[in-house]
Amino acid sequence: MLRPGSGSKVVITTHHKPDADAMGSSLALYHFLAEQGLEVQVITPTDYAPFIHWLPGNDKVLIYENHEEKAKEITDNADIIFCLDFNDLSRINEYGDVVAQASAIKVMIDHHRDPSGFEDYRFWTIDVSSTCELIYDFIDKCGGVELIDETIGVCLYTGIIADTGSFRFSSTSPKTHEIAAELKRRGVNTTKIHELLYDTFSLRRYRLMGYVLQEKLKIFPQYKTALVVLSHEDLAKFNVQTGDTEGFVNFGLGIEGIKLSALIIDRTKLIKMSFRSKGDFPCNELAAKYFNGGGHLNASGGFSKESLEEVEKTFMNALPEFKKWLDQ
Ligand code: 5GP
Ligand code: MN
């Protein structure tokens, strides 16, 4: 399928507003394949948070929404398209039609529940911490572990710590730690990566954080639920940029007794929401049933075209149905 050194053309794509696991896995695979002489292009459907722009190879990424024609041409000419960290073409917006229509072989590498089956081949399981962990496995199965250098290691390590909350979420396995140890052995400066990811925020983001905690965080003790709803006016007031609200959904979960935390944001064209839970509460089911979404058991997201008020109502009305998991 892939012929190293032959000039085979590869496209790697990942989901809407890619996070550190999405970009880390895409760029790790990019470096691995490019080093073997393949012609590789990473194409993201949208832009992404500045706090991951330092990842090696970031300057080579093509953003579909800014370069539609060029991205379409490259995709149409590809021999193989790797789809990383998502499993349904709706997750790559309009670029999904371009990928669907391309004649290339499509390979999905992902760790989210309920794949829709658009691909020709899949390297998929929900039993890993991150797509970066799967890329490590993929490289291993290709017999390429010895080719994992510091550059690839930095990309993989970044995605792993982001998707595991720095090794704290239940998806962290002994193997996750073993891979991390191996990457460290190969020269990855783990302290530096934590600094680049978590100590580079803007003052704007911190001010917004203060406002959200003080004014916007609501608690519903009977449902052990925390909720933050951000309107378009809230975003405008703080001149919110891509990435500024990332992680805000976790605030609620840090409160004693809270098992479900929701963040609902008016993104103008759409209302986007994120869910996080502790224990067995199925965030993916909540997102799939009411908000056109999905994800993992303890972390999911979705969207709605209804008004912010309607979406908040839908969320509140759904809580009684899910109370049995909140009462556990
Ligand atoms: P986040 O809240 O960080 O945006 O997303 C959390 C998890 O939910 C991620 O694993 C992500 O893939 C999934 N997710 C977020 N938004 C959507 C969506 O609109 N559709 C689906 N299917 N999954 C989503
Ligand atoms: Mn992921």
Q: What CATH number is associated with residue 133?
A: 3.90.1640.10
Q: Is residue 2 part of a domain?
A: no
Q: In the predicted model, is pLDDT for residue 217 greater than 70?
A: yes
Q: What per-residue confidence (pLDDT) applies to 328?
A: 81
Q: Is residue 1 part of a domain?
A: no
Same domain? For 249 and 137 the reply is: no
Q: What per-residue confidence (pLDDT) applies to 167?
A: 98
Please indicate whether residue 296, judged by its CB atom, sits closer than 6 Å to ligand 1: yes
| Cα–Cα distance, 81 to 103 (Å, whole number) | 9
Q: Note the pLDDT tens digit of each residue in 279-319.
A: 999 999 999 999 999 999 999 999 999 999 999 999 999 99
For the segment 9-24, the average pLDDT, to the nearest whole number, is 97
Domain's final residue, options 198, 232, 263? 198
Strands 294-295 and 121-124: unpaired
**Closest ligand 1 atom to Cα of 274:** 2
Domain's final residue, options 198, 233, 250? 198
Answer whether 23's CB lies under 8 Å from 58's CB.
yes
User: How far, in Å, is the centroid of ligand 2 from the Cα of 244?
Assistant: 19
Number of domains in the chain: 2
Same domain? For 129 and 247 the reply is: no
**Closest ligand 1 atom to Cα of 263:** 2
Q: What per-residue confidence (pLDDT) applies to 102?
A: 98
Answer whether 143's CB lies under 8 Å from 130's CB.
no
Could you give the angle at which helices 174-185 and 131-141 cross, rounded to 10 degrees? 70
Strands (E), 171-310: 217-220, 225-230, 260-266, 271-277, 294-295, 299-304
CB-based neighbours (< 5 A) of ligand 2, an ion? 21, 85, 131, 163
Q: Is residue 225 part of a domain?
A: yes
CB atoms within 10 A of CB 104: 18
Q: Is residue 282 part of a domain?
A: yes
Please indicate whether residue 112, judged by its CB atom, sits closer than 6 Å to ligand 1: yes
In 3D space, the residue among 37, 38, 35, 48 whose CA is nearest the CA of residue 85 turns out to be: 48
In 3D space, the residue among 173, 191, 178, 180 whose CA is nearest the CA of residue 153 turns out to be: 180
Same domain? For 281 and 262 the reply is: yes
Q: Is residue 156 part of a domain?
A: yes
Please indicate whether residue 87, judged by its CB atom, sits closer than 6 Å to ligand 1: no
The CATH number of the domain where 260 resides is what?
Answer: 3.10.310.30
Q: In the predicted model, is pLDDT for residue 174 greater than 70?
A: yes
Same domain? For 47 and 150 the reply is: yes
1 falls in which pLDDT band (50, 70, 90)? very low
pTM above 0.95, yes or no: no
Radius of gyration of the chain (CA): 20
User: How far, in Å, is the centroid of ligand 1 from the Cα of 300?
Assistant: 5
Same domain? For 166 and 252 the reply is: no
Could you give the angle at which helices 150-164 and 190-198 cross, rounded to 10 degrees? 50
What domain range includes position 257? 204-326
Sign of the C-alpha dihedral, residues 136, 138, 139, 145? positive
Same domain? For 60 and 105 the reply is: yes
Instruction: Tell me the pLDDT of the chain averaged across its residues.
Output: 96
* 10, β-bridge pairs: 40, 80
Same domain? For 30 and 137 the reply is: yes
User: How far, in Å, is the centroid of ligand 2 from the Cα of 43?
Assistant: 17
Q: Is residue 4 part of a domain?
A: no
Domain's final residue, options 198, 221, 244? 198
Q: In the predicted model, is pLDDT for residue 179 greater than 80?
A: yes
Please indicate whether residue 245, judged by its CB atom, sits closer than 6 Å to ligand 1: no
Same domain? For 41 and 97 the reply is: yes
Contacts of 270 (CB under 8 A, 6+ apart): 303, 304, 305
